[in-house]
Structures are given as structure tokens and as C-alpha cells.
Amino acid sequence: MDYRPMPAIFVADAPGLDFLNSIATPVDEPVEWIGDGEGLLSWLEQAQLVPADVLASMRSHIAPAELDEVAAKARGLREWFRAFVRKRKGRPLSAKDLAELEPLNAVLQRDEQHAVIVADANASSGLAFGMQRRWPTAESLLMPIVEALAKLVCEEDFTYVKACEGPKCTLLFADHTRGHARRWCSMAACGNRAKVAAHRARLKEEKGA
């Protein structure tokens, strides 16, 4: 399995599902984007989940082995949550699902966020109320990921969480299209391959007629 031979894939229309797609088989071979600590930092940077200055500080002050451990925890969290999503996609969630989400709440309880007043040119007063996160350890890199997963289950209608219909594709996405008719991770990839395959099938059928 190759590590990060291409930019990470962000086609899910939901950050929590984009995290699940940080390992995927977009063509033929599985691609892992967070196979080690540097991979995790790179993916978080591309996903814009962690400020650039925080990532730079982590690279400078945290030992690679410690970052590798956090990446391993991220992968474990990813595969646990993938099972949750695959089991429930296609139907709305309910309060009955809360018990199985306890691992997310356990991590969220360790988050270090605080309220802050910030400048905001769009606010009538020029000021706004916001939240800031502290980043005391390498493990705090998991917090924006867990937050994205929590928002997914709370804000997304799982009725429209789907898996790409490409034969070998493993990508997941939230279908926000009108009529909820989306079938592919992207039309440029699996959608186009499906069109080509259908065209070839029609030609073969016409020749055999």
C-alpha cells in the first residue's frame, strides 16, 4: 500500500466522511493518507482542520514517534466510525444510536476549547463571540477530527449518506444534490468510468445483434 502518492480526496461534501475517505481505493489499489504522523499532519493541513502555525509547531516540537502514535489512534477511530456509518447509512439516526457513539463523547470531553471575543468585519459592532482551541499535546490533533464526526451524526441526514457505486471504489459521500440522485464519488472519476463501460456494453450488444 502506497502512502500519499497523490493529494487527499475531498469529495464527500461532509468533513466527517472526508476523514473516512483518508483511506480509499479510488482506482485499483488502496491508498492510505494517514499511514504515519507526517501523513496525519499533511491530511489535516489539506482538510484545513488545524491552523498552519499549529501544524508547524507540531512538526518542530513533537517527536515523529509520538506523531506516529497519534496517527495510529486516528486510524483506529476512523475504522470504528466507518463501521458505524456503513451500518446506518441510508436511514436517519435516532437517540437509540447514542450509546454506540460513546467513544466520540469520551474524546470530546478531553477537548480544550474556550470562548473568546474576536474582531469580525461582518458583525455590526465589529466584534463577535467565538471559540478557540488549545493544542497542548500531539493527541489534541484528534479533536477537530472527532468534532467533525460528531457534527456529522448530529447535523447530517444519514438517509442520504451513500457509498459510491463504482465497482472498486470505497469512497463515501453525503448526497446533497436536488432529488438526492448522486451515485458516484465524482463524475470525473467513477461516473465517467461507468459511462464508458455502459457505452462499450451497448456497442458489444449492437455488434452481437
Q: What value does the mean pLDDT take over residues 161-190?
A: 90
pLDDT of residue 28: 74
Tell me how far apart the alpha carbons of residues 24 and 168 are, in angstroms, rounded to a whole number. Answer: 10
What is the biggest distance separating any 2 CA atoms in the chain, rounded to whole angstroms? 73
Reply yes or no on whether the pLDDT at 5 is more than 60. Answer: no
In this prediction, residue 207 has a pLDDT band, given cuts at 50, 70 and 90, of low
Q: What are phi and psi of 32, to 5 degrees?
A: -110, 120
Give the phi and the psi of residue 186 in degrees, each rounded to 5: -160, 150
Q: Which residue has the cell 504515519?
A: 36
Pair 33, 195: CB distance under 8 Å: no
Query: pLDDT tens across 27-55, in order?
Result: 778 899 999 999 999 999 999 999 999 99
Confidence of residue 6 (pLDDT cuts 50, 70, 90): confident
Integer Rg of the chain from CA = 20
Q: Where do the domains of the chain lie, and which CATH numbers do they carry?
A: 2-208 (1.10.3300.10)
Distance CA 12, CA 170 (A): 12
pLDDT tens per residue across span 176-200: 999 999 999 987 768 676 565 554 5
| Residues with Cβ within 8 Å of residue 49, at least 6 apart in sequence | 15, 144, 145, 148
Residue type, 12: A
